[in-house]
Amino acid sequence: MYAVETNSLTKVYRDFWGRARVKALNSLDLTVHQGEIFGLLGPNGSGKTTTTKLLLGLIFPTSGQAYVLGKPAGDVATKARVGFLPEESYLYRFLNAEETLDFYGRLFKIPKKERRKKIDELIEMVGLTEARKRPLKEYSKGMARRIGLAQALINDPDVVFLDEPTTGLDPIGTREVKNLVIDLGKKGKTVLLCSHLLADVEQVCDRIALLVRGNLRKQGAVKELLADKDALQFTIKKPPADARRRVEELAAEMGTKIEGVENPVETLEELFLDVVRDGEQATDLDKDS
């Protein structure tokens, strides 16, 4: 059983008269294994949020199926095991942090004692202990994000959907969230992370999928996707002074040569851009033909 599985999931947004306005998602086949931290990548408008909403049953697919923990998307019993942090934290401004978590906790039918404990724990974790009694309308964007994250974890979910979890957070907050995601992974939780912040994704995700204009362009383990199969990169700790000469000799012996010698760089970004460029050309061609 996969944590998340979609079969030819297609979503077409229609206007009032039922005419197709935009194809937000085109025949998406996605599988996320349990216990995996999965990154859903794509530029703005590529269908990441649409996918999340479909998986949560907030909107309904035009065709295809979506399954969460083996059950059709939107299944009430499954939702009890799912946590969701939307793109921006949309919460009730008249409640304070405690009341917010209490309200959502009640919806999960968490017993009172346990709920109290969990609320204290989460408020502590997201660093809102000082502001726990203040109404949310007074919160800054970053604080709202933190309480949003806390509400997503109130039910100790098996699968967590995080849509742009680090927007609005300062670098420290960003780091904390990333650590949190890694921790969730270690605890065996499945995390579906939607983001266009490549560094974030690269650091925490086991596998990623790249979406462009509603089409899945790439899917796989981060390491695999980033690896250039025709080349090998060696990283040598504390190389001796003549390391380069000796490696070049070795390469000549093997009938090849060293292409470049440098410190490791961010290559995900290049890949990302390539894929986006390819994807856009491909859809333009589709349209032309």
Partner 1 sequence: MPIWIIARHSFKEAIRKRILVVAGIFALALVVSAPFWPAMTDSDRVKLVQDISLTAMTFLGVIIAVFISAYSLPSDVEERRIFTLASKPVRRHEILLGKLCGFLMVFAAVLALMGLLGNIVIRSVSTFSRVEVTAAEAPILINGLQIGAVGKGRELRITSTEGEYYSVVLPEDQTLKEAHIAASDVEVDKTSGQVRVTADGAALTRNGVEIAYAERSAEFAVKDLLDGSYTVYLPENLRIRRALVPASHMSAPRRSLIRAKRIVDPVGRVYRNQGAVRYEEDALVFETAVSKIGEIWRFAGIDADKLPAGEDVRVLMSVPGIYGVATDAGAPGRLGGRQIKEFDVALQITHPGSGRLLREAKAKAVWAERSFTMDFDLPRESLLGGAVDVTITHTDPQFLHLSTDFFSKRRTVTWHFEDLKMGRFGSEGKIRGEMLFELRRGNMPADGSAVAHVEFKIAPPSGLRNEIITVPIRSRKRVEFEFSREMIDPHGNVNVAVHKVPEPYAVGVPAKGATVSLLEKPVSFERSYFKAIALIFCQLALVGSASVAASTFVSGGVAALVGFFTYFCGQAVSLMNDILRIGPQAFAGHHHGPAVTPEGGGASWALIEPLLKVFVTVTPDASKLDAKEFILRGMDVPCGDVLAGIARTAAYLAVFMVFACFVFRRKELG
Based on the shown chain and the rule CB under 8 A, indicate whether residue 53 belongs to the binding site for partner 1: yes
- Local structure of residue 182 (DSSP, 8 states): H
Place of tokens 């390539």: 274
Based on the shown chain and the rule CB under 8 A, indicate whether residue 29 belongs to the binding site for partner 1: no
39-72 as b/e: b if 16+ CB within 10 A: bbbbbeebbbbbbbbbbbbebebbebebbbbeee
Identified binder of partner 1 from the candidate list 22, 59, 226, 282, rule CB under 8 A: 59
Based on the shown chain and the rule CB under 8 A, indicate whether residue 91 belongs to the binding site for partner 1: yes
Name the β-bridge partners of 139.
none
Based on the shown chain and the rule CB under 8 A, indicate whether residue 112 belongs to the binding site for partner 1: no
Identified binder of partner 1 from the candidate list 39, 148, 173, 214, rule CB under 8 A: 148
Pairing of strands 63-68, 71-72: antiparallel
Q: Are 48 and 211 in contact (CB under 8 A)?
A: yes
Based on the shown chain and the rule CB under 8 A, indicate whether residue 146 belongs to the binding site for partner 1: no
Based on the shown chain and the rule CB under 8 A, indicate whether residue 86 belongs to the binding site for partner 1: yes
Identified binder of partner 1 from the candidate list 57, 168, 173, 214, rule CB under 8 A: 57
140-179 as b/e: b if 16+ CB within 10 A: eebbbbbbbbbbbbbbebbbbbbbbbbbbbeeebbebbbe
Identified binder of partner 1 from the candidate list 10, 27, 88, 134, rule CB under 8 A: 88
Q: Which pair of structure tokens corresponds to residue 124?
A: 């502590």
Closest distance to partner 1 from the beta carbon of 17 (Å)? 15
Based on the shown chain and the rule CB under 8 A, indicate whether residue 90 belongs to the binding site for partner 1: yes
Sites for partner 1 among residues 66-85 (CB under 8 A):
76-77, 79-80, 82, 84
Place of tokens 């405690």: 98
Q: Determine phi and psi for 168, rounding to 5 degrees.
A: 80, -5
Based on the shown chain and the rule CB under 8 A, indicate whether residue 22 belongs to the binding site for partner 1: no
Candidate segments 102-110, 172-180, 212-220, 249-257, binder of partner 1 by CB under 8 A = 102-110
Q: Determine phi and psi for 112, rounding to 5 degrees.
A: -55, -50
Q: Which residues bind partner 1 (CB under 8 A)?
A: 49-50, 53, 56-60, 76-77, 79-80, 82, 84, 86, 88, 90-92, 94-95, 103-104, 106-108, 148, 151
